[in-house]
């Protein structure tokens, strides 16, 4: 399998339940965790693709870091800081196609909201295409344009608006809100398929 | 309660930058601990420091995000112990019988994680530290393994950014910028909603829902179990 089979221009595509090692990623930049043992600064690390200070500082802002980040030593960066560095590398290197591998696994919910907005911006305004290996329905919701779900017999395709879908939950973890609404439904209390807690709260308040 | 590991004033400085700042934590036998924190809070550095420690009085296992076993097959790694009954149960539970003759270097990340867990369970470690790796398993499998480790009387210390997993642990530690921001019984820590929000930590869904319902006066307390919450709402 090739990543190019899934890349769609100016779209965010999710690949779920895939074995990353079985997908060949060429002509793209892959953002995934890996350790770096270079005793050099972030600025020096990125100098191979960009030495323009303004562009370097702008790329720091894009990943929610200030310009001090450029002076940090690469081998001392945390896991999440390394992911941000690789994301900066992808942006500065002007790669059209970016692949994110399990990006959602490393950040808390609030941090992920920031990245959701960033990824959408990269695709809508900066002419990028993104493919993400992701099994987190919550993260993919309101973000991806399409999702491909790998199963033993075939690969299913879902529209990004249709991710709260029973077919998907056979293979991926159900979002907790869906799980709770389903539980209530199985006990005689039927609620709509809310995706926001506020809406569910109002509905429970009306019902109780 | 029996102390397994006592950490006093753990400090780590990298390039003049404090990554861990006077961390003091005690791990007790039978009290598994969930460690979390926002990005760059020091979780991985903490686990790496634990791995470097010499703890002679207890048997300790540490599985870091990049820990792998390379030489040999799964069978080679797990049959160093001659108590086959002990080995067989662990292998079957973790599904390693399916990859029994596989070379370790060909294992998927998930199977490598299970192999490492199996290795330490067979060695009968007193305490097992796992940095994030269980996050790559499905929730059901993750819960199953956490319960199995606890059942085998191994104290588990697990770090993750998935706050839902905190509900499987009786004790919780939240790191923030290299310090212990808050620690305590999990439900007590999760009750500190405002502090956790300030630290950028969300709440497990059912806890968050309970807190909101309590504000509306619809429930009497915070629930961690959907069944109990549902039962109370429509009692």
Is residue A176 within 8 Å of residue A164, measured between CB atoms?
Answer: no
pLDDT, one tens digit per residue, over B26-83 is: 999 999 999 999 999 999 999 999 999 998 889 999 999 999 998 899 999 998 765 5
Euclidean distance between CA atoms A93 and A87, whole angstroms: 10
Angstrom distance (rounded) from CA B155 to CA B64: 16
Test A197 with B206 for CB contact under 8 angstroms.
Answer: no
Extended strands (E) in chain B: 3-14, 17-28, 33-37, 60-63, 127-131, 155-159, 171-176, 179-185
A204 vs B38, B39, B218: nearest CB: B218
Question: Do residue B205 and residue A180 have CB atoms under 8 angstroms apart?
Answer: yes
Distance CA B72, CA A24 (A): 27
* Residue-by-residue DSSP string for B91-152: HHHHTGGGGTTSBGGG--HHHHHHHHHHHHHHTT-SEEEEESGGGGS-HHHHHHHHHHHHHT
Q: What's the pLDDT score for residue B86? A: 66
ipTM of the complex, rounded to two decimals: 0.91
Asked if A101 and A133 touch (Cβ cutoff 8 Å), the reply is yes
Three-state DSSP at B21 gives strand
Per CB-CB distance under 8 Å, the chain A contacts of B206 are 176, 180
Q: Where are the domains of chain A?
A: 3-162, 175-208
Backbone angles phi, psi at B166, to 5 degrees: -60, -30
Instruction: Kindly report, residue by residue over B173-217, the tens digit of the pLDDT.
Output: 999 999 999 999 999 999 999 999 999 999 999 999 999 999 999
What topology is assigned to A3-162 in CATH? Rossmann fold (3.40.50)
Q: Residue B139 and residue A173: Cβ atoms within 8 Å?
A: yes
Say what percent of chain A tops pLDDT 90: 79
Residue ranges of domains in chain B, CATH in brackets = 3-200 (3.40.50.300), 204-235 (no CATH)
């Amino acid at each position: 399998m090739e990543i190019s089979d899934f890349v769609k221009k100016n779209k965010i595509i999710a690949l779920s339940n895939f074995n990353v090692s079985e997908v060949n990623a060429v002509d793209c930049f892959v953002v995934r965790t890996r350790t770096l043992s270079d005793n050099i600064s972030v600025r020096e690390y990125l100098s191979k693709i960009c030495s323009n200070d303004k562009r370097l500082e702008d790329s720091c802002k894009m990943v929610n870091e200030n310009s001090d980040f450029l002076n940090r030593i690469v081998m001392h960066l945390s896991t999440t800081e390394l992911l941000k560095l690789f994301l900066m590398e992808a942006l500065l290197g002007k790669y059209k196609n970016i692949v994110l591998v399990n990006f959602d696994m490393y950040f808390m919910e609030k941090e992920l909201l920031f990245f959701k907005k960033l990824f959408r911006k990269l695709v809508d305004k900066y002419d990028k295409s993104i493919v993400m290996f992701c099994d987190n329905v919550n993260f993919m919701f309101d973000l991806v344009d399409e999702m491909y779900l790998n199963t033993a017999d075939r690969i299913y395709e879902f529209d990004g608006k249709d991710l709260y879908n029973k077919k998907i939950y056979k293979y991926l973890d159900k979002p907790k809100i869906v799980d709770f609404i389903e539980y209530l439904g199985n006990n005689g209390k039927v609620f709509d398929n809310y995706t926001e807690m506020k809406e569910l709260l109002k509905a429970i308040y009306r019902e109780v | 309660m029996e102390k397994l590991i006592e950490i006093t004033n753990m400090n780590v400085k990298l390039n003049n930058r404090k990554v861990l700042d006077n961390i003091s934590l005690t791990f007790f036998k039978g009290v598994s601990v969930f460690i979390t924190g926002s990005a760059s809070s020091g979780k991985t550095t903490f686990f790496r420091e634990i791995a470097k420690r010499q703890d002679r009085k207890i048997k300790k296992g540490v599985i870091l995000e990049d820990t792998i076993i390379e030489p040999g097959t799964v069978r080679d790694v797990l049959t160093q112990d001659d108590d086959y009954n002990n080995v067989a149960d662990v292998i079957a539970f973790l599904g390693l019988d399916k990859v029994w003759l596989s070379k370790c270097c060909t294992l998927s990340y998930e199977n490598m994680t299970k192999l490492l867990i199996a290795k330490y369970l067979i060695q009968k470690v007193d305490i097992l530290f796992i940095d994030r790796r269980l996050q790559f398993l499905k929730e059901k499998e993750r819960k199953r393994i956490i319960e199995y480790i606890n059942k085998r009387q191994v104290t588990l210390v697990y770090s993750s950014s998935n706050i839902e997993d905190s509900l499987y642990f009786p004790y919780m530690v939240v790191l923030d910028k290299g310090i212990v921001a808050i620690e305590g019984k999990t439900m007590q820590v999760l009750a500190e909603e405002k502090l956790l929000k300030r630290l950028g930590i969300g709440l497990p869904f059912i806890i968050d829902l309970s807190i909101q319902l309590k504000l509306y006066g619809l429930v009497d307390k915070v629930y961690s179990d959907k069944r109990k919450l549902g039962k109370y709402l429509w009692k």
